């Protein structure tokens, strides 16, 4: 499926703030949350709804509402946690699954270390949250695990993607919907995104 790159002026402005190496962690976290709000709006564009009657103070009309079974948000630990509050702000009834993965520094292969998914994944709309899509290894593994647990309708929401990561995901999971704020140039020889913003998890949590 074609990836959606938002390229919105507000995304561009906020991305410039978090790309800046001088931006302190407190501001970095806040701006990631602001970008998370934009991603939550755009990432949920295809959320299915059903018709429902509603009584306004003036008349009865037809509205729409989300399906009874709430969506699932799955932040990929750690950096995905930075996007979670924004998504929960807009979808407060969402269930939250957690998936712990870290990239092995030498092999770049994602190493799973924690997993806790809510039930009925096969009937829910699932959003994978991870600000960085570099080689695509972590996101691909996250989607693989979710599909193995039954998920059928999955959207990945990321702040910055490298072309390599998009290509990898489209090959591994052609049915995956991908929404990113920006598409950067390339990966460096350590698989960091250029120009990127460095290590998102370290900058979010002060572990530099
Ligand atoms: C970062 C990021 C992604 C992954 C992207 O996590 O948050 O999960 O790297 O890289 P990939 O596309 O090449 O797999 P990291 O492994 O640094 O863990 P952290 O979030 O705990 O810092
Ligand atoms: N993970 C990050 O946090 N940043 C990158 O540039 C690549 C992977």
- pLDDT for 105: 87
Task: State if residue 133 touches ligand 1 by the CB under 6 angstroms criterion.
Answer: yes
Give the model confidence (pLDDT) of 43-102 as tens digits: 999 999 999 999 999 999 999 999 999 999 999 999 999 999 999 999 999 999 999 999
- pLDDT for 11: 98
Q: Say if residues 156 and 102 touch (Cβ distance below 8 Å).
A: no
Collapse the DSSP code of 48 into the 3-class scheme (helix H, G, I; strand E, B; otherwise coil) and give the result. coil
Ligand 2 atom at shortest distance from the alpha carbon of 201 = 3
* CATH number, span 4-47+65-205: 3.40.50.2020
| Ligand 2 pocket residues where CB is under 6 Å | 79, 132, 134, 192-193, 196, 199-201
Q: Which of 44, 122, 141, 140 is nearest to 83 (CA)?
A: 44
Distance, CA 31 to ligand 1 centroid (Å)?
Answer: 19
Give the model confidence (pLDDT) of 37-55 as tens digits: 999 999 999 999 999 999 9
Q: Say if residues 32 and 131 touch (Cβ distance below 8 Å).
A: yes
**How far is Cα 102 from Cα 1, in angstroms, rounded to an integer?**
26
The residue count of the chain comes to 208
Give the model confidence (pLDDT) of 102-149 as tens digits: 999 899 999 999 999 999 999 999 999 999 999 999 999 999 999 999
Distance, CA 204 to ligand 2 centroid (Å)?
Answer: 12
- pLDDT for 78: 97
Q: How crowded is residue 109: how many other Cβ atoms within 10 Å of its Cβ?
A: 12
Give the model confidence (pLDDT) of 171-198 as tens digits: 999 999 999 999 999 999 999 999 999 9
Give the mean model confidence (pLDDT) for residues 157-165: 98
- pLDDT for 19: 98
In this structure, which residue's CA is closest to atom 8 in ligand 1? Answer: 138
- pLDDT for 135: 97
């Amino acid at each position: 499926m074609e990836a959606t790159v938002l390229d919105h002026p507000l995304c561009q402005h906020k991305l410039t703030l978090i790309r800046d190496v001088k931006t302190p962690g407190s501001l970095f976290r806040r701006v990631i949350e602001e970008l998370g709000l934009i991603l939550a709006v755009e990432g949920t564009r295809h959320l299915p709804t059903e018709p429902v009657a509603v009584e306004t103070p003036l008349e009865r009309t037809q509205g729409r509402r989300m399906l009874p079974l709430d969506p699932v948000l799955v932040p990929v630990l750690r950096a995905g946690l930075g996007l979670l509050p924004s998504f929960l702000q807009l979808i407060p009834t969402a269930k939250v699954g957690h998936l712990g993965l870290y990239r092995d520094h030498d092999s770049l292969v994602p190493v799973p270390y924690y997993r806790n998914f809510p039930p009925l994944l096969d009937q829910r709309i699932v959003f994978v949250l991870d600000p960085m899509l570099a080689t695509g290894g972590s996101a691909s593994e996250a989607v693989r695990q979710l599909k193995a647990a039954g998920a059928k309708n999955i959207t990945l929401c990321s702040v910055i993607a490298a072309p390599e990561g998009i290509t990898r995901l489209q090959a591994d999971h052609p049915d995956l919907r991908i929404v990113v704020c920006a598409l950067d140039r390339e990966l460096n020889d350590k698989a960091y995104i250029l120009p990127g913003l460095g290590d998102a998890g370290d900058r979010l949590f002060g572990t530099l």
